[in-house]
Amino acid sequence: MNFEAHLAPYAARSAASRGRRFSEAAPASRSEFQRDRDRIIHSTAFRRLEYKTQVFVNHEGDLFRTRLTHSIEVAQIARSIARNLRLNEDLVEAISLAHDLGHTPFGHAGQDALNACMKDYGGFEHNLQSLRVVDELEEHYGAFDGLNLMFETREGILKHCSLSNAAKLGDIGRRFIERKQPSLEAQLANLADEIAYNNHDIDDGLRSGLITTTQLDEVDFYARHRSEVARAYPGITGRRAIHETIRRMINALAVDLIQTSQSHIRDAGVQSIDEVRNAEPLITFSREMRGEALQLKRFLRENLYHHYLVNRMTSKARRIIRELFDAFMQEPRLLPPDYQIPGNEHAQARKVADYIAGMTDRYAMREHRRLFFIDES
Ligand code: MG
């Protein structure tokens, strides 16, 4: 059965794929990319996303986004746009669900701290770590390490990569060196991520009380939609007004992305995924929308991500990661046996990074207490 007959010629297809690292028989009841999506959902790293966060640490409140709900929102936005563009929804969903698998505990603070710890050992990049999770770290199959995903899924997961790391990665790193594009599905998942976090960070920011609707009125994009909501529903206030506003913002971004990308695809005349790889990026917002999104991002950076109460948490997070790393490097025997690599400092550091990156927020805090407080065991 051809599960992909409805796709546009420029979409990713199982038949035209660059394949898996270890060859496997084609699945009978689903497409190759459906299989990838399913493998990701059954992975251990995917379940950990529930207890990892970006801005707010997991214990700060039950209603804040976690990386799991964030990834589901990204997948929802990406799939609905993909359907409009006749792209491969299964691939876009697989990339979306896997895009944060390599994140450390405590969001970007954790990633920066671990990168600093790994300075002399090749550094730490969360995109690269996501690829490492699906290529090597998951232990689910008898025949291979990792999930053995399709090239196009892996290409989408590796959103960014330094040139020095790209050179070590072979096939999957080549596009960074040759300055080529990934599939349209990968380009789309990347922007769906942006739509998701910009909007849910407003919601979570307001819920936490760290930012206010009055402050948000200085963001044109928000203010315009908020006043439309007030006109449509006179007297609307509170959570309902916020949600109705954010809903409209997400919709406006999605519609703009669909229309702009459709016209780019038409103008470029691409007829295959390889033509897509050689073209300019085709999935983009319009220039006006990019300007609006930038203003919103800047607002969030200044008022939420750098709020002093968030800074306190990120400072604590940095310290926890640094102290865990140093303790494990000084005494590798504190690690579970399969993470100990005696006599090879470089390999040991990478194992410690894998161990720490795999921790959830609360596990990292508990592990830190266990190592540094005598009355914890
Ligand atoms: Mg993300």
Q: What pLDDT score does 57 carry?
A: 66
Contact in structure between 264 and 3 (CB atoms under 8 Å): no
**126 belongs to a structural domain:** yes
Range of the domain at 77: 29-214+300-309
Across 49-53, 151-155, 216-220, least confident range: 49-53
Q: What pLDDT score does 54 carry?
A: 78
User: What is the 377 CA–ligand 1 centroid distance (Å)?
Assistant: 34
User: What is the 195 CA–ligand 1 centroid distance (Å)?
Assistant: 10
User: What is the 193 CA–ligand 1 centroid distance (Å)?
Assistant: 5
Q: How confident is the model at residue 58 (pLDDT cuts 50, 70, 90)?
A: low
Q: How far is CA 326 from CA 20, 158, 243, 278, 354, in A?
A: 37, 28, 44, 44, 14
How many residues can be counted in the chain? 377
User: What is the 190 CA–ligand 1 centroid distance (Å)?
Assistant: 8
**247 belongs to a structural domain:** no
Name beta bridge partners: 150: 20
**75 belongs to a structural domain:** yes
| Residue (of 71, 108, 85, 110) closest to 6 by Cα position | 85
**330 belongs to a structural domain:** no
Contact in structure between 283 and 184 (CB atoms under 8 Å): yes
User: What is the 288 CA–ligand 1 centroid distance (Å)?
Assistant: 23
User: What is the 44 CA–ligand 1 centroid distance (Å)?
Assistant: 18
Element containing residue 117 per DSSP (H, E) = helix 107-117
Residue 348 backbone phi and psi in degrees, to 5: -65, -45
User: What is the 45 CA–ligand 1 centroid distance (Å)?
Assistant: 15
Structure tokens at 203: 């919601």
**128 belongs to a structural domain:** yes
Q: How confident is the model at residue 59 (pLDDT cuts 50, 70, 90)?
A: low
Beta strand extents in the chain (DSSP E only): none
Judged by phi (left if over 0) then psi (alpha if -120 to 50, else beta), residue 162 lies in beta
Question: In the predicted model, is pLDDT for residue 217 greater than 90?
Answer: yes
**253 belongs to a structural domain:** no
Q: How confident is the model at residue 53 (pLDDT cuts 50, 70, 90)?
A: confident
* Tokens 């405590």 found at: 106
As a whole number of angstroms, the distance between CA 276 and CA 264 comes to 11
Encode pLDDT of 10-30 as tens digits. 999 999 999 999 999 999 899
**62 belongs to a structural domain:** yes
**166 belongs to a structural domain:** yes
| Prediction pTM value | 0.96
- Residue 189 sits in a domain of what CATH number? 1.10.3210.10
Structure tokens at 110: 């954790």
| Domain total in the chain | 1
User: What is the 48 CA–ligand 1 centroid distance (Å)?
Assistant: 14
User: What is the 75 CA–ligand 1 centroid distance (Å)?
Assistant: 10
Structure tokens at 195: 């739509």
As a whole number of angstroms, the distance between CA 129 and CA 122 comes to 12
Structure tokens at 353: 């990074």
As a whole number of angstroms, the distance between CA 280 and CA 282 comes to 6
User: What is the 341 CA–ligand 1 centroid distance (Å)?
Assistant: 32
Burial label for 241, CB within 10 Å (0-12, 13-18, 19+), is: middle
User: What is the 290 CA–ligand 1 centroid distance (Å)?
Assistant: 18
